[in-house]
Amino acid sequence: MSNGTLQWLWPWLALAWPLPIIVRRVLSPARDGGGPPLNLPYLRELSVVDGRGPRFDVRWRFWVALVAWTLLVAACARPQWLGDPLELPITGRDLMLAVDVSGSMEEEDFSLNGRLVNRLEAVKAVASDFIERREGDRLGLILFGTRAYLQTPLTIDRKTVSTLLRETVIGLAGRDTAIGDAIGIAVKRLRETTDTNRVLILLTDGANTAGELQPLDAARLAKDAGVRIYTIGIGSQTSGLFGRRRSDFDPATLQGIADTTGGRFFEASDTSALAAIYDELDRIESTTRDTQTYRPTRALFYWPAGAALVLVLLMAMPWSMFGRWISVARRPGAATTTPGTLRP
């Protein structure tokens, strides 16, 4: 606690400190109801033997009680230690990733680190890097094939989202492609948030071939919910030795989804193009955020309260043996006198 400041939460309670002194000054002592119930003519001598003279009992107990009361008042004033101000980032993004895991994603037409990999492996590598860069954002993951389901709800735990994406396998949700249902689930989840910046990044390599909801109908629902969709088409539009046009690729629908919601459509035919798309998304949907100041607080009231409790317990202890030792130690020849023995 070398840095920071001491603060009293309720400093006005210090006004209660003089109350015992005021009460002692204002109120008269209790009246004696009669003579002493027991006459001890040798009380002074017995006090010396016991080691607890009247001065010791009255004077020291008064000061100990005063210190205990001061500590209690200090504890009631709620002292706390404020650390140095810390700046916490506040993000402005709730971002969902919808990844196609249908059977067509096993096509090995992407290169990663000098080796040929399927489309899903390339997406995992590039998207994981994108997730790591979204510090402060709340991210969610949707996987879709014949069916669409929520793999990870919105969370700031980027490591978990990245891990679950890397553990995804092709065909996990079926072999077909339900683009509309994936958008519908994303809209449902994003609509529940209070954030006004709602973004969906949808990645697929094919056309909508399954599901209950048509992609463009889902896009209109997304627009009404304030969800902006960026669509990414994976793989080339041509296939085969003679470059025949792929029948399972529908860039027009992906373009229509993006245009309806105010997003953009991208097409990636290789790993470098896919990485460039995610870099562009980082630029477009940057993690712009304000800052909020936070000061860590540590309560200190238990220290004076604990010290006051110790003093009260000490006052309640039988002081006879301590008083006897003090009395004997102060007398001449104490070094050769056994405690409890009176010299003539």
Q: For the chain, what are the domain ranges?
A: 5-21+44-83+297-336, 91-291
> Taking 60 as the threshold, does the pLDDT of residue 126 lie above it?
yes
Kindly state the percentage of the chain with pLDDT values over 70.
Answer: 73
CA–CA separation, 212 and 244 (whole Å): 30
Average pLDDT, whole number, for the chain? 78
State the pLDDT at residue 53.
47
- Write the pLDDT tens digit of every residue in 54-76: 444 556 777 888 888 888 888 88
Q: Do the beta carbons of residue 205 and residue 249 sit within 8 Å?
A: yes
Better-scored residue on pLDDT, 139 or 332: 139
**Structure confidence at residue 326 as a pLDDT band (50, 70, 90):** low
CA–CA separation, 139 and 286 (whole Å): 14
Calculate mean pLDDT across residues 119-126.
90
> Taking 80 as the threshold, does the pLDDT of residue 279 lie above it?
yes
pTM tops 0.85: no
Tokens of 323: 């008083």
Domain 91-291 top-level CATH class: alpha beta
Strands 79-82, 5-8: parallel, antiparallel or unpaired by DSSP?
Answer: antiparallel
Segment (H or E) for 304: helix 302-316
> Taking 60 as the threshold, does the pLDDT of residue 106 lie above it?
yes
Tokens of 29: 């002592």
